[in-house]
Amino acid sequence: MTKRTASHTYVPGALRTYAHTARPTPENPLSPLTRPSIVPEVIDVPAALAAEQVKYNGPAGHAFITALPALAQGFLDQWELRVDGPSMHGVSALVLPVTAADDTRAVLKLQILDEESAGEPVALRLWNGDHAVRLLRHDEPTGTMLLERLDPTRMLSHLDDVHEAVLVIADLLARLTTLPAPKDMRRLDDIAHAMLDQTPQALEHVPDPTDRRLIADCAAALGEVVTEPGDRLLHWDLHYENVLAADRAPWLAIDPKPLAGDPGFELLPAIADRYDPADVRWRFDALTAALGLDRERARAWTLARVLQDCLWEIEDGRPPEPRRLETARLLRG
């Protein structure tokens, strides 16, 4: 199964690209790998970002963090950009607010190049700013991107009306998943088969028989649809903190981890984040109606997404997350 990276985590409150300003504090000091002599008072590499890179990517993450200040300065020079605000970071990327030579306000996103980040500019180029952040420039060898600047202070997670927020995600997904994925995009087909292969061994590490039966049921639901994995261009990480407001549109999606697959695999973040067990079925109904999905297939793919989360937790030596299991119980019926 595809190994999880930090970017897969969509727990509310997690550090997110665009969402958090990196400033040195006693709790979050700047990484000792930051080299202010190279980029004085411009590039801060937060210790939290450095720690996450080392945790999830090992030596490759350490090498990325070490090279990051010089890498950022190189693109600032090459693309004639001027930093005009404090750096921001998620768990996997450093984002710098910049102004271009023509006064265009943008952000420079630097992240380690892997199978997830390699697909991001491909998807953004295909969406071409339609319900997603617009890609302005891209350096293929490093994965560095120049993106239009959105408003990091206005995330969809800040919207008080959760039902309205769910419908925003439903509308975005309905638009984004209309496109077929390119042939070289990562396939849900491969990920789904790997999940089924991993499940028997993972179940051995779930002591509670009720939870074990539930996870097995999620795998059985996946088995019913795995032969038809779909071919749409999926975002794969569209939760409430990956939707930002913009001047040109009310809401735009950011930070895709694209796949080729069935749109039913997209629903779980909107259902299980900002969690309310009494709201699970309403959210599922609203999402499937907006996307025009077959409900039984969408239920199976959503249970498959719960299975994926459970497998990741088990792989990391933790018990499956109770709210994910409860979501599966409510959807399984």
C-alpha count within 13 angstroms, C-beta hemisphere, residue 291:
30
Distance between alpha carbon 42 and the CA centroid of its chain, in Å?
27
Distance CA 144, CA 154 (A): 24
Q: Which two tokens stand for residue 214?
A: 């539930």
Minimal CA–CA distance to 109: which of 150, 82, 138? 138
Minimal CA–CA distance to 75: which of 45, 108, 50, 42? 108
Distance CA 150, CA 127 (A): 16
- Looking at residue 277, its amino acid is P
Q: Which two tokens stand for residue 63?
A: 């090498």
Residue from 44, 189, 211, 237 carrying the catalytic annotation: 237
Dihedral angle sign, alpha carbons of residues 103, 107, 111, 114:
negative
Whether residue 273 lies in the annotated active site: no
Distance CA 182, CA 231 (A): 9
- Looking at residue 75, its amino acid is F
Minimal CA–CA distance to 176: which of 245, 124, 119, 248? 124
Dihedral angle sign, alpha carbons of residues 193, 196, 202, 208:
positive
Taking residue 144's Cβ as centre, other Cβ atoms within 10 Å add up to 23
Catalogue the active-site residues. 237
